[in-house]
Amino acid sequence: MSDAISSLSVCALAEKVQRGEVKAAEVAEATLARIERVDPKLHGFLSVTRDAMTARAKEIDAKRARGETLGPLAGVPVAIKDAICTRGIATTAGSKILDGYVPPYDATVIARLFAADALVPGKTNMDEFAMGSSNENSAYGPAKNPWDTSRAPGGSSGGSAVAVAARMSPAALGSDTGGSIRQPAAFTGTVGVKPTYGRVSRYGLVAFASSLDQIGPFATDVRGAARVLGVVAGKDAKDATSLDAPVADYEAACGASVRGMRIGVPEEYFAAGLDGEVAASVRAAIAALEEEGCVVRPVKLPHTRFAVATYYVIATAEASSNLARFDGVRYGLRVEKTRAGAKGDLRAMYGATRDAGFGREVKRRILLGTFVLSAGYYDAYYLKAQKVRTLIVRDFEAAFRDVDVIASPTAPTPAFGLGEKTGDPLSMYLADVYTLPASLAGIPAISVPCAPAPSGLPIGLQLMAPALEEARLFALASAWEKRSPSRAPAL
Amino acid sequence: MSSSHAPRITIDRARVEQIAKLAALSLEEDEVEALARDLAAIVSYVEELEALDTTDVPPTANVRLGASQWREDAVQPGLSHEDALAQAPRAEHDGFAVPAFVEG
């Protein structure tokens, strides 16, 4: 029974709980059993919130017993990236500097999930402060790819992807700054959505790069991701950047006709550096969509190759500023003694706390960000990158005059091996080459599994749409999914 | 075109130590060398942006999809004093306690 519950999709599970065929308490029990069985070898979770989930499940069952209608995520477990604040539940952002930090408030997305009667099974593993593409920058050790545990699950939301891929939770929330939802979705054979910048409130998300960060869902299927996004999306008075635009009916878009939809294929995304198997799988998926009645044509995104450099200047600049708050004063780690063992003054405390609390990649990015913002270099690096960002935005504006959606690979390769890229930060950054442009342009994008590599490793098809046109992504992704239903790894 | 040519600077130990000071990071001795190497490689990579002519291109600081709206200036419940101090590494006299400092 337990694995039967765990194999259900978001919508199938919610329907069973709404009808009373399965109790939320049974879902909680099955979820905990599944996590206990498979997570020791995957390390997708940093904490499992057994008691809180069990208590909430009972409340949901009581609500139904009273005759109340349950919400759209009735009894559905949604695992939460550990960068999202949960009241009374430790939130580390994958960093030692927040070890043991217990937020006194819930992020808006958490409040919305609870209002929809969802369950939260726990907090998922991630690269420290969402800085990474493999999960290896987690201060608590990496999550492993359930398709091959010697490989990375992708990052930074690797734990959320693992939780969904391994069917420990049919859905999860992650955050995507430069590909942190889409790339792990591609690596693990799950569906991952980076919504339009501002579509989902970030109140309670530990900030990395504020002009880029966006929360979004993972799910085992397209409709599940659509339902979760529908629940968490929308204006929030607590986040000034959240958009006051109506939330479309994403679920209705799933299964809608895609006949006549114009799909652009950017040649720049199929250039050198793209793995041959990935190229073949993605092209086959695009050809299949053509058979479904879509019109496929080439588009040009000429500034694509500058996205990595642009992103690593802008994101690190914003991170160096955002991470200034971790100073050992109000929360988190504090180290008062200098390395020599002397008790230092306030400045020494800041320096020692940040040295002990931040990992190597975070320090690297703080230093790069501080440098590009520093006097004498601001114009040459930071301002220059902001101007190139404009060119990347314009590339998309021009392309979307001719097409409705742009299709590409999500990542240049299938999941790479753990340890393969850790010695060379630049090669790790290049793993994000296809996801960064949409982040810089603020547009929505989805990664949906396409045909796996001959090795069995998942491959992701990325679809991008103009701002606030998430519904197009769901329509197209679900048309593809009908031909290629999702697979689960054997565990 | 004033910013079209980036000053090519050397990222060495001294430079990293100077940036680290700006970022309030006390680095371990052995970290400085490795970070200098990594940063030099990354900075040299991002210098490829110089190749692009961005004359008359305005910067994008933020992709604004709608005008920001003011929130009503109404009193809302916030964190209690206790909640705000609950996570402090050290709290004294109803406030955040820090080591002594004298600056001038």
Q: How many CB atoms lie within 10 A of CB A339?
A: 15
Query: In whole angstroms, what is the distance from residue A489 CA to residue A467 CA?
Result: 34
Query: Mean per-residue pLDDT for A88-106?
Result: 96
Taking CA atoms, A290 is separated from A259, A293, A434, B88, in Å, by: 9, 5, 22, 58
* Closest residue in A to B57 (Cα–Cα): A387
Given a cut of 50, whether residue A403 has pLDDT beyond it is: yes
List, edge to edge, every strand of the sheet that includes A295-299.
A45-48, A122-124, A78-81, A171-176, A214-219, A191-194, A445-450, A459-464, A405-409, A262-266, A295-299
Facing residue for A381 by CB, picked from B38, B46, B59: B46
Per-residue tokens: A214: 């966006």
Share of chain A above pLDDT 90, in %: 94
Site from A137, A371, A428, A436 to mutate, B interface, most B CB atoms within 10 angstroms: A371
Provide the pLDDT for residue B66: 72
Nearest-by-CA chain A residue for B54: A387
B14 inside 8 A of chain A by CB: no
- The pLDDT score that the predictor gives to residue A2 is 74
pLDDT for B21 equals 96
* Chain B residues close to A327, C-beta within 8 Å: 24
Distance in angstroms (rounded) separating the CA atoms of residues A114 and B58: 42
Mean pLDDT on A170-182: 98
**Average pLDDT, integer, range B71-82:** 88
- A460 vs chain B: nearest CA distance in angstroms? 26
Residue of A nearest to B83 (CA): A104
As a whole-number percent, the residues of chain B with pLDDT over 90 amount to 65
- Does the pLDDT of residue A291 top 90, yes or no? yes
Percent of chain A residues past pLDDT 70, beyond the cut: 100
- pLDDT one-digit tens code per residue, A184-243: 999 999 999 999 999 999 999 999 999 999 999 999 999 999 999 999 999 999 999 999
- At residue B104, the pLDDT reads 59
Strand-strand pairing, A122-124 and A459-464: unpaired
Instruction: Report ipTM for this prediction.
Output: 0.91
- On whether the CB atoms of residues A82 and A159 are closer than 8 A, the answer is yes
Separation of alpha carbons A182 and A191, rounded Å: 8
Instruction: Report the distance separating Cα A173 and Cα A85, nearest Å.
Output: 12
The three-class DSSP label of residue B88 is coil
Q: Which residues of B touch A391 (CB under 8 A)?
A: 52, 54, 57
Looking at A66-80, A164-178, A336-350, which range is the least confident one?
A336-350
The overall average pLDDT reported for chain B is 87
Mean pLDDT of A421-427: 90
A92 φ, ψ (degrees, to nearest 5): -105, -20
B99:A211 CB<8 A? no
The helix or strand, by DSSP H or E, that contains position A227, with its residue range, turns out to be helix A222-232
Q: How is residue A273 written in tokens? A: 């550096």
Peptide linkage before A156 cis (omega within 30 of 0): yes
Q: Is the pLDDT of residue B6 over 80?
A: no
Give the pLDDT confidence of A254-264 residue by residue, as tens digits.
999 999 999 99
Minimal-distance CA residue of chain B relative to A364: B35
Sign for the CA dihedral angle at A414, A418, A420, A426 comes to positive
Asked if the Cβ–Cβ distance from B39 to A367 is below 8 Å, we say yes
Closest CA to A251 of A89, A473, A489: A473
CA nearest neighbour of A204 among A289, A337, A265, A114: A114
Q: Provide the number of CB pairs (under 8 Å) joining chain A to chain B.
A: 192
pLDDT of residue A272: 87
Q: What is the pLDDT of residue B7?
A: 52
Segment 83-102 of chain B within 8 Å of chain A by CB? 83-84, 86-90, 96, 98-102
Pick from A309, A351, A364: CB nearest B24: A351
Minimum-distance CB partner of A245 among B26, B42, B66: B66
Structure tokens at A301: 């995104």
Look at A313 and B69 and tell me if their CB atoms are within 8 Å.
no
Collect all residues of chain B within an 8 Å Cβ-Cβ radius of residue A201: none
Determine, for residues B89 and A468 on separate chains, whether the beta-carbon distance falls below 8 Å: no
Which tokens belong to A158? 């690797």
Task: Tell whether the model's pLDDT for residue B1 goes beyond 70.
Answer: no
Residue B2 has a pLDDT of 40
Q: What residue of A is the nearest CA neighbor of B73?
A: A237
Known catalytic residues of A are: 81, 156, 180
The answer to whether A312 contacts B46, with C-beta atoms less than 8 Å apart, is: yes
- The pLDDT tens digits for A238-256 are 999 999 999 999 999 999 9
How far, in Å, are A154, A268, A306, A384 from residue B51 at the CA level? 31, 18, 10, 11
Do A332 and B87 lie within an 8 Å CB cutoff? yes
Q: Are A387 and B59 within 8 A, CB to CB? A: yes
pLDDT digits (tens, 9 = 90+) for A16-55: 999 999 999 999 999 999 999 999 999 999 999 999 999 9
Assigned token pair, A385 = 């990158």
- To 10 degrees, the CA torsion angle through A305, A309, A315, A318? -140
Average pLDDT over residues A441-466: 97
CB contact under 8 A, B49 and A331: no
Question: Residues A405-418: pLDDT tens digits?
Answer: 999 999 999 999 99
Rounded to two decimals, the pTM is 0.96
In the prediction, which pLDDT does A342 show?
Answer: 74
Specify the pLDDT at position B3: 43
Q: What's the whole-number mean pLDDT along residues B57-62? A: 95
CB pair distance less than 8 Å for A211 and B63: yes
Kindly report, residue by residue over B64-74, the tens digit of the pLDDT: 777 777 778 89
CB within 8 A of A421, min separation 6: which ones?
A: A133, A134, A427, A428, A431
Picking from B49, B65, B68, the nearest residue to A306 by CB comes out as: B49
**Pick from B20, B54, B68: which is nearest to A384 by CB?**
B54
Are A180 and A174 contacting, i.e. CB atoms less than 8 angstroms apart? Answer: yes
Task: Name which of A303, A346, A355 is nearest B98 (Cβ-Cβ).
Answer: A346
* Residue A481 pLDDT exceeds 80: yes
The predicted structure's pLDDT at residue A171: 98
- In DSSP terms, A406 is beta-bridged to A264, A464
Contacts with A345 from chain B: Cβ below 8 Å: 99-102
Mean pLDDT across chain A: 96
Write out chain B residues lying below 8 Å of A245, CB-based.
65-66
Kindly report, residue by residue over A301-324, the tens digit of the pLDDT.
999 999 999 999 999 999 999 999
CA A128, CA A360: separation in Å to the nearest integer?
10
